[in-house]
């Protein structure tokens, strides 16, 4: 040491053996005890207070610089512990909320699956085959349950009827509405002198009056098509209630069987028209819900014609093959896993 030089005086506020690794520093900071924060006397860019708040960067700088000057600081452990307890409480609350939500979602899923099985029980288990008349069906709900409902009824030895209803919307409310409409469907009257088959127009009128009488609080209505076929003469009597017109495939032609009729459930005592069509061997009648019209594109405005082309393209296939191939084609379409509407297609074939 040179003469005249005043040795630098080091002030030790608190000394301890320097930690051997950064892990020791972190441990020292987290343990419920006084934490030593280094104050490098020679490298500080600006004066620091004697007891500075804990700063991880300062601790790291001190470690790398090799200084052994430390200051004692208190970390307000009570406040930190309070924050940790609060976070732990919130996590437990979220966990309980998640468990409750999971419970209710599981129960809702089970109830909807049960409702779907129940709706399937209301559908024909075996499609009737009366004389030369055969039925084939494609039924695809948009969710668990469908707002579409169909039925085929053998009225007597020579008459068979078909019915398709499409309630507004889809899901559980629409499915419940179709259940009521099915129950309100009256196809024939039985009296002491025998029975009388109701004309399709009268059948729809009775369904409409029964629905209006319920005075439902929500704006609930439905479309429907009902037809009765004489299996001996092949004369078809048809009535509709705001429903898409059935298509008649005969050879190379496809014709709309348009019959005017108001929606079900809007006004009471509505009058429904009906028409008569003479069918012949080889004819196929396509009855469908409007879900078919929106099944091929995300752009609803550009739906016109595409679905008709797909059906017409399969005109030479047997009726059963037409339904299967049409279903396979739907599976390949974009958005097939999330359909926008319930879909039902009935093919009545005259062999």
The CATH number of the structural domain formed by 124-350 is: 3.60.40.10
As a whole number, mean pLDDT of residues 139-148 equals 92
Tens of pLDDT, residue by residue over 42-91, are 444 444 444 445 555 655 555 555 444 444 444 567 788 888 888 888 99
pLDDT on residue 277: 96
**Tokens encoding 209:** 């009056």
Tens of pLDDT, residue by residue over 334-350, are 666 677 889 999 999 99
Bridge partners (DSSP) of residue 239 are 226, 274
Tens of pLDDT, residue by residue over 158-210, are 999 999 999 988 788 899 999 999 999 999 999 888 899 999 999 999 999 99
For residues 54 and 286, the model is more confident at: 286
pLDDT at 138 over 80: yes
**Tokens encoding 111:** 């109830």
- Residues in CB range of 223: below 8 A, 6 or more apart: 165, 166, 240, 241, 242, 243, 244, 263, 264, 290
Q: Is 204 helix (H, G, I), strand (E, B) or coil?
A: helix
pLDDT on residue 182: 92
As a whole number, mean pLDDT of residues 217-235 equals 92
pLDDT on residue 204: 97
The Cα 201–Cα 246 span in angstroms is 16
As a whole number, mean pLDDT of residues 283-306 equals 77
Arithmetic mean of pLDDT over the chain: 80
For residues 170 and 228, the model is more confident at: 228
For residues 65 and 103, the model is more confident at: 103
12-21, 101-110, 126-135: which range is least confident on average? Answer: 12-21
- Residues in CB range of 174: below 8 A, 6 or more apart: 145, 146, 147, 167, 168, 342
The Cα 93–Cα 95 span in angstroms is 5
- Residues in CB range of 173: below 8 A, 6 or more apart: 167, 218, 220
The Cα 59–Cα 70 span in angstroms is 9
The Cα 154–Cα 161 span in angstroms is 6
Pairing verdict, β 284-288 and 253-256: unpaired
pLDDT on residue 171: 86
pLDDT on residue 283: 95
| Band (293; pLDDT cuts 50, 70, 90) | confident
Q: Is 297 helix (H, G, I), strand (E, B) or coil?
A: coil
pLDDT at 229 over 90: yes
């Amino acid at each position: 040491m040179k003469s005249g030089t005043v040795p630098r005086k080091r002030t030790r506020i608190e000394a301890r053996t320097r930690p051997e690794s950064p892990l020791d520093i972190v441990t020292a900071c987290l343990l419920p005890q006084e934490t030593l924060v280094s104050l490098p006397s020679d490298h500080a860019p600006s004066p620091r207070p004697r007891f500075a708040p804990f700063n991880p960067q300062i601790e790291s700088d001190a470690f790398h610089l090799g200084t052994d000057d430390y200051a004692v600081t208190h970390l307000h452990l009570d406040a930190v512990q309070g924050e940790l307890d609060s976070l732990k409480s919130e996590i437990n609350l979220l966990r309980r909320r998640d468990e409750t939500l999971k419970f209710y979602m599981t129960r809702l899923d089970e109830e909807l699956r049960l409702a779907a099985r129940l709706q399937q029980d209301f559908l024909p288990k075996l499609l009737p085959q009366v004389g030369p008349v055969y039925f084939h069906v494609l039924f695809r709900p948009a969710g668990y349950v469908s707002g579409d409902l169909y039925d085929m009824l053998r009225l007597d030895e020579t008459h068979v009827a078909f019915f398709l209803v499409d309630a507004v919307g889809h899901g559980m409310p629409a499915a419940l509405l179709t259940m009521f409409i099915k129950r309100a469907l009256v196809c024939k009257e039985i009296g002491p002198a025998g029975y009388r088959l109701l004309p399709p127009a009268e059948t729809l009128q009775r369904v409409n009056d029964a629905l209006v009488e319920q005075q439902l609080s929500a704006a609930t209505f439905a479309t429907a098509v009902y037809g009765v076929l004489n299996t001996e003469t092949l004369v078809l009597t048809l009535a509709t209630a705001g429903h898409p017109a059935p298509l008649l495939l005969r050879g190379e032609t496809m014709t709309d069987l348009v019959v005017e009729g108001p929606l079900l459930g809007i006004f009471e005592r509505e009058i429904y028209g009906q028409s008569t069509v003479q069918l012949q061997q080889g004819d196929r009648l396509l009855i469908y819900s409007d879900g078919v019209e929106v099944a091929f594109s995300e752009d609803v405005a550009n739906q016109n014609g595409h679905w008709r082309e797909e059906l017409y393209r399969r005109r030479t296939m047997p009726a059963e093959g037409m339904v299967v191939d049409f279903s396979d084609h739907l599976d390949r379409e974009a958005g097939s896993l999330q359909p926008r509407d319930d879909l039902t297609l009935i093919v009545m074939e005259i062999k």
